[in-house]
C-alpha cells in the first residue's frame, strides 16, 4: 500500500544508511554479540558518514534537518540490517533533544561537535534498581556543593552505558517528588563515577546495557541540563519522541520478520507443499500482513504529525504500545512458522524474537502507556 511519507531525499539517505551498515556493521555484528559491545570505532565512522545528529545545527557538524524522517530512516535500516547492537537510536532520537533544546550555548559548544562526530557517545540514565516505571521515584541524589554537584546513587539497565562518554543522569535535587528532579550530565572520568557489570540479556547482545554507580561523584555545576527541579517536565516533553522512535523500530522489525517468514513459508515444504499454502498459515500470514500494513500507516502518520509539532503524549503512547505488542506477536508467530528452526540461534527469526522482547518494556512499559492513555480519557 502506498504511504507517501518519505520523499526522494529520504530514500537517498536510506541508501546511504544501508551502504554504511552493510560495510561497517553487518560484517562485525556476530563478533560484537560475542563481545557484548560494539567497536568504539563504528561510532566515529557513523559520525563521519552523517548518521549522528541529523537534526543538530550544522555549525556543530550536524545535519541541520528538523525532520524526524531522517531519524526514522536510520532506525528502520538498523533494524532491517539486524544490527541491534548499535545504540544510534538512543543517541539521535532520545538523547539529542536534551542536548540541543535544553542546553546553553556553552554546553552545545562542548558537546555537540563530539555528538555529531561520534567522539561523544551518549546515554540517558533514568532507571534505578528501585525505580523504573515510576520515574518520579528516583533516588540518586545530586547535592549542590559550591560550583559542583555531588551525586550519589545507582542507575541500571542503561543503554550504551559502558561506552557512553556523556550520560544524562536523572537525579533528585529536592525531595518534592516529581518537582525535585533534575538532569545532570556526567562525563567519563568524573571522579566517583563507575560502571558495573555488563548485563547478560535475553537479546540485544551487542549492546552494552550497564549499571552505573555514583559514589560522591562530582561534576561541575554547569553540567546541569535544563532547569533545576524541572527535570521531570523535561523528560515528559521528550518521551513522545523516544516512544515514536521505538514504534518506528517496532514496525520495521515486524516488516522484516514478515518478509523473512513469507520467504520461508513459500519455500519450506511439508506434506508435499509449501507450508505457507496450508490455509491456517496463509490466514495467519494474511492477518500479520494486515496488521503490519496498518501499523505502518499509523506510525507514518505519527511521524508526520510529530514533524508538524502535533504528536501528543497520548498519541505517542498509543503508537508505542500497539506497535511493540504487534512486533512481539509477529515475532512469536514467525518463530512458530519456522518449526524447529525457529529455536535455532542462527536463524534471524530467533534473534529478532529475542531482541524484540524488550520493546514492550523499556521506554515505558505497555502498562504505563495504557495508564497515560487512560488518564487522557479522564479515567
Ligand X SMILES: Cc1cc2nc3c(=O)[nH]c(=O)nc-3n(C[C@H](O)[C@H](O)[C@H](O)COP(=O)(O)OP(=O)(O)OC[C@H]3O[C@@H](n4cnc5c(N)ncnc54)[C@H](O)[C@@H]3O)c2cc1C
Catalytic (active-site) positions: 242
Cell of 305: 504529525
Of 38-97, binders to its own copies (CB under 8 A) are none
Asked if 133 touches ligand X (CB under 6 A), the answer is yes
Asked if 158 touches ligand X (CB under 6 A), the answer is yes
Spacing of C-alpha 103 from chain mean position: 21
CB of 82 vs ligand X, minimal distance in Å: 17
Asked if 358 touches ligand X (CB under 6 A), the answer is yes
Q: What is the DSSP letter of 85?
A: T
| CA dist., res. 50 & res. 61, Å (int) | 9
CB of 19 vs its own copies, minimal distance in Å: 29
Binding characters for ligand X, 48-87, by CB under 6 A (x = yes): ----------------------------------------
Of 120-179, binders to its own copies (CB under 8 A) are 127, 130-134, 137, 156-157
Cell of 150: 555531588
Of residues 105 and 346, the one with the C-beta less far from its own copies: 346
Helix 40-49 vs helix 8-24: angle between axes, to the nearest 10 degrees?
150
| CA dist., res. 267 & res. 1, Å (int) | 24
Asked if 184 touches ligand X (CB under 6 A), the answer is no
| CA dist., res. 49 & res. 190, Å (int) | 30
- Backbone angles phi and psi of 302, in degrees to 5: -65, -40
| CA dist., res. 189 & res. 119, Å (int) | 15
64's contact among its own copies, ligand X, none, with CB below 5 to 8 A by partner kind, is none
CB of 274 vs ligand X, minimal distance in Å: 9
Among 191, 194, 190, 186, CA closest to 210: 194
Q: What is the DSSP letter of 72?
A: H
- Backbone angles phi and psi of 155, in degrees to 5: -120, 155
The residue with cell 518537582 is 179
Q: Is 128 helix (H, G, I), strand (E, B) or coil?
A: strand
Asked if 151 touches ligand X (CB under 6 A), the answer is no
Of 348-377, binders to its own copies (CB under 8 A) are 350, 353-354, 357-358, 360-362, 365-367, 369-375, 377
Q: Which of 280, 308, 346, 378 binds ligand X (CB under 6 A)?
A: 280
Q: Which of 104, 188, 194, 312 binds its own copies (CB under 8 A)?
A: 312
Asked if 278 touches ligand X (CB under 6 A), the answer is yes
Q: Which residues bind ligand X (CB under 6 A)?
A: 90, 123-127, 132-133, 157-159, 201, 204, 209, 268, 270-271, 275, 278, 280-281, 336-337, 339-341, 343, 358, 361-362, 364-365, 367-368, 371
Amino acid at each position: 500500500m502506498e504511504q507517501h511519507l518519505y520523499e526522494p531525499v529520504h530514500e537517498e539517505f536510506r541508501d546511504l544508511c544501508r551502504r554504511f551498515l552493510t560495510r561497517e556493521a553487518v560484517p562485525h555484528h556476530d563478533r560484537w554479540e560475542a563481545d557484548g559491545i560494539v567497536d568504539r570505532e563504528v561510532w566515529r565512522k557513523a559520525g563521519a558518514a552523517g548518521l549522528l545528529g541529523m537534526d543538530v545545527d550544522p555549525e556543530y557538524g550536524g545535519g541541520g534537518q528538523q525532520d524526524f524522517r531522517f531519524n526514522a530512516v536510520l532506525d528502520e535500516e538498523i533494524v532491517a540490517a539486524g544490527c541491534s547492537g548499535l545504540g544510534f537510536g538512543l543517541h539521535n532520537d532520545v538523547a539529542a533533544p536534551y542536548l540541543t533544546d535544553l542546553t546553553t550555548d556553552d554546553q552545545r559548544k562542548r558537546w555537540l561537535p563530539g555528538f555529531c562526530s561520534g567522539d561523544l557517545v551518549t546515554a540517558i540514565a533514568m532507571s534505578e534498581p528501585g525505580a523504573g516505571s515510576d520515574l518520579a521515584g528516583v533516588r540518586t541524589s545530586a547535592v549542590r556543593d559550591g560550583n559542583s554537584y555531588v551525586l550519589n546513587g545507582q542507575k541500571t539497565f542503561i543503554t550504551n552505558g559502558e561506552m557512553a562518554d556523556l550520560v544524562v543522569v536523572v537525579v533528585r535535587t529536592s525531595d518534592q517528588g516529581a518537582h525535585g528532579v533534575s538532569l545532570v550530565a556526567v562525563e567519563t572520568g568524573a571522579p566517583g563515577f563507575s560502571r558495573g557489570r555488563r548485563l547478560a540479556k535475553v537479546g540485544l547482545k551487542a549492546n552494552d546495557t550497564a549499571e552505573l554507580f555514583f559514589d560522591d561523584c562530582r561534576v561541575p555545576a554547569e553540567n546541569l541540563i535544563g532547569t533545576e527541579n524541572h527535570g521531570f517536565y523535561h523528560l515528559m516533553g521528550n518521551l513522545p519522541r523516544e516512544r515514536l522512535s521505538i514504534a518506528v523500530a517496532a514496525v520495521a522489525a515486524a516488516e522484516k520478520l514478515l518478509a523473512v517468514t513469507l520467504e520461508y513459508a513459500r519455500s519450506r515444504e511439508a506434506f508435499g507443499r509449501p507450508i505457507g499454502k496450508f490455509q491456517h498459515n496463509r490466514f495467519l500470514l494474511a492477518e500479520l500482513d494486515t496488521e503490519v500494513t496498518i501499523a505502518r500507516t499509523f506510525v507514518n502518520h505519527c511521524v508526520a504529525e510529530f514533524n508538524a509539532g502535533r504528536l501528543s503524549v497520548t498519541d505517542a503512547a498509543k503508537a508505542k504500545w500497539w506497535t511493540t505488542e504487534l512486533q512481539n506477536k509477529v515475532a512469536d508467530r514467525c518463530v512458530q512458522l519456522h518449526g524447529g528452526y525457529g529455536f535455532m540461534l542462527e536463524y534471524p527469526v530467533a534473534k529478532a524474537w529475542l531482541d524484540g522482547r524488550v520493546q514492550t518494556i523499556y521506554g515505558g512499559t505497555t502498562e504505563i502507556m495504557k495508564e497515560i492513555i487512560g488518564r487522557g480519557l479522564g479515567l
